[in-house]
Structure 1
Amino acid sequence: MADRTRSSSPPEETALRRRPRNARGEGDKLREEILQATLRLVADESRMQIVPLSLREVAREAGVTAPAIYLHFADKEELSIAAVRRLFEQLLDAMDQVEGDSHELPPDRRLAELAHVYCRFAEHNPLYFRVMFGDHDRHQNEMALLADRWRTAVTRLAATGMRLTQTPEAAAVSVWSAVHGRILLRNSAGQVWNLGDVHDFVEELTRSITTADGGPRG
């Protein structure tokens, strides 16, 4: 018969025993594991509905004690900001990758490829996408970096002699807002409006900001 007098260990201690301790100097590894645990929770809609994101839940997911999180993050808000910043980094990396891969394509195709990868990120990571743009006031730097990618791609059209139906700055705003808005519409109006494929929309949008004759409009 089992010894009923023996007390069970707290969940945090049990989790810590399951996870090998990091060696000295591996604090960055622990920080990354905590971030990845947070992102796994954010991406799991069923778990997030039952248990709101908390440091205790993150600790359980990462296999560490809750106090260990405070070695790297002052509180839940700081952890949340760092996690969302990591998501922006992933999106920016994907956009930079396609920018490099498409360097031999015409400028209008490079713009289209940039928009396509933006849409694919949103399609593959719908919960991440929602979180990233849910509190943009905390991520003005990341938003500025995104704006630079769109601005560069659209300005390249004019710089290579392609005529635009708008000024480059206005066209960059139009493209980003149109692509982003179309993604959001899929979630809110996709059941009542036949929106079609977002990538077809990207192709049509790219064509719409260029014209065979006439200069930029003020």
Structure 2
Amino acid sequence: MPHDPEPPHAATPPAAARRPRNARGEGDRLRIEIVEATLRLIADEQRMRPVPLSLREVAREAGITAPAIYRHFAGKDELVRTAVGHLFGELLADLDRATAAAGALSPAGRLAALAHAYARFAEENPVSFRAMFNGAGPDAEGPAEVAARWHTAVGRLADSGVRLGQSPDAAAVSVWSSVHGRLLLDRPAGGVRQLGDVHDFIDDLARSLSAARLAHG
């Protein structure tokens, strides 16, 4: 997302839309409300389609003036990074819960559980999911933490005797890319080409990895 060109003196929202002033010591609450407003806008494709996300629109959504945002964030770039970091936190929590719940399964089963959780998050948050990977900067921790989950899951396969044909790190990127790319194909395909259910795709992928172990076992 491009750098926000708006100066701190952006237009004030109508009085009816303004939120009550926070009591003394409640500045942290306002910061949270600004992030929540940003997340609502990021998730709303219809509202974001005409123009990119702007601090003026965030201020309107939060019921505050744009200068109030600058008391908590240096600009739009920092605000977007914070909001995207929150989304990655939610995704990571889903992945960790799914992995823990699948603890008694085979390595392939645990990998499938991780991939299903990843796909469900994308299905439930389609617009935000795309924005996460577009809005995360090159040094963002979120994508690196997600990558670590895939590396761990694929590493278990290698430890169990599956011959991946690649190093575990390279195989993790391949598996993650396969699932992520399959999710992205759902949108532009638009029903022109029937791709099948992404969860069936994940199950087939897990079975094929298990078969690699059997073939070489």
- TM-score per shorter chain, which class? 0.7 to 0.9
TM-score, normalisation: structure 2? 0.85
Q: Which residue pairs with 1:87 in the alignment?
A: 87
RMSD of equivalent CA atoms: 1.9
Q: Which residue pairs with 2:23 in the alignment?
A: 23
1:136 shift after superposition:
4.7
Q: 1:111 to 1:194 in 2, by over 3 A?
A: same
Q: Which residue pairs with 1:207 in the alignment?
A: 207
Q: 1:77 to 1:189 in 2, by over 3 A?
A: same
For residues 173 and 138 of structure 2, what CA distance do their matches in structure 1 show?
21
1:158 shift after superposition:
2.7
TM-score, normalisation: structure 1? 0.85
- The 10-residue stretch of structure 1 (199-208 or 23-32) with the greater mean CA deviation from structure 2: 23-32
For residues 45 and 190 of structure 1, what CA distance do their matches in structure 2 show?
16
For residues 39 and 136 of structure 2, what CA distance do their matches in structure 1 show?
18
1:214 shift after superposition:
1.7
1:114 shift after superposition:
0.3
Q: Which residue pairs with 2:120 in the alignment?
A: 120
For residues 197 and 85 of structure 2, what CA distance do their matches in structure 1 show?
29
For residues 43 and 59 of structure 1, what CA distance do their matches in structure 2 show?
16
Aligned length: 203
Q: Do structure 1's residue 146 and structure 2's residue 146 form an aligned pair? A: yes
Q: Which residue pairs with 1:55 in the alignment?
A: 55
* Paired letter, 2:130: R
Describe the SS at the equivalent of 1:21: coil
Q: 1:86 to 1:139 in 2, by over 3 A?
A: farther
Deviations 1:145-175 (A, max 9, x none): 111000111111233x242333422321221
Q: Which residue pairs with 1:98 in the alignment?
A: 98
Aligned sequence identity (%): 57
Between 1 and 2, higher relative CO (CA 8 Å, sep ≥ 6) is seen in 2
Which blocks of at least 5 consecutive residues in structure 2 are unaligned? 1-11
1:135 shift after superposition:
4.5
Q: 1:96 to 1:183 in 2, by over 3 A?
A: same
1:109 shift after superposition:
0.9
1:113 shift after superposition:
0.6
Which blocks of at least 5 consecutive residues in structure 1 are unaligned? 1-9
* Paired letter, 2:113: E
For residues 137 and 69 of structure 2, what CA distance do their matches in structure 1 show?
25
* Paired letter, 1:191: G
